[in-house]
Amino acid sequence: MIEQPQMVKICNIKDETPNVKTFFFEFTGHYDPGQFIMVWIPLNDEKPFTLSYINGNIAGITVLRRGDFTKTLHAKKIGDQIGIRGPYGKGYGLSEKSVTTCIVGGGIGMASIACLADRQENATFIQGARTVTELLFRHRFKEMKLCTDDGSLGYKGTTVDLLRELIGKHNYQKIYACGPEKMLHKIFELCSEHHIDCEVSVERYIKCGFGICGQCDCSGQRICIDGPVFNKEDLRNMPDFGKTAITKSGSRVSL
């Protein structure tokens, strides 16, 4: 694990969608799918991102352009440098091949779940987005079941709607998910109702990344070191999951 930011050169950039780019750089540490790294842009900020690609000693982060930090990152070119430290946190637990699994990614949550899908063979893989142009990694995962809210491609509806239908037909024993918390909470309820194991990656505002500042607290669990991936039993004891979060300035708000 790298404890201090290490400057790495961006060696490739891939346009994934109009608002999402993947940045590739050299990375040699051990990484479990679902863990995250802190990315530093000097004189700007430091923010958490999961690795979405690992190929030998090249890793990638897939970044949705949102506010100041991600806009600055999107303006970077091949050869520019960024700082990275980590990886941090607890990733997804891989399942035995004999366990019937389903992986669900919503929006940019696909970035977190992609490296898991690379390793978890034979899983059903569902991706949901608002519209066809926001779908990610369609050439990378050819068998993915796609859903769009507006019906522009694949199943018209949410990942939760499709998952509910598939649970009726397949005997899933384990479900993994990353995406908007509303989606994760519904998947958690669905899994509880059907007695299916689940692991979901929970997002909170992260500052230090290693458990000191308490910023990313969710019912006493620090997302940065106790998570970001939690199982059904953990989530049952986290009443703030799906309900409240702490903002950048420290106030608790409902989601």
Site residues, ligand FAD (CB under 6 A):
36, 47-50, 61-64, 66-70, 108, 111-112, 203-206, 228
Residue 165, both tokens = 């239908």
Minimum CB separation of residue 21 from ligand FAD in Å reads: 9
Residue 199 or 203 having the CB closest to ligand FAD: 203
* Amino acid, single-letter form, for residue 235: L
Q: How many residues are present in the chain?
A: 255
> Of 107 and 154, which has the nearer Cβ to ligand FAD?
107
CB-closest chain residue to ligand FAD = 67
Q: How far is the CB of 239 from ligand FAD (least distance, A)?
A: 19
Tell the smallest beta-carbon distance from residue 97 to ligand FAD (Å).
27
Smaller CB separation from ligand FAD, 33 or 48: 48
CB of 77 to ligand FAD, least distance (A): 18
Q: Give the residue with the Cβ less far from ligand FAD, 168 or 253.
A: 253
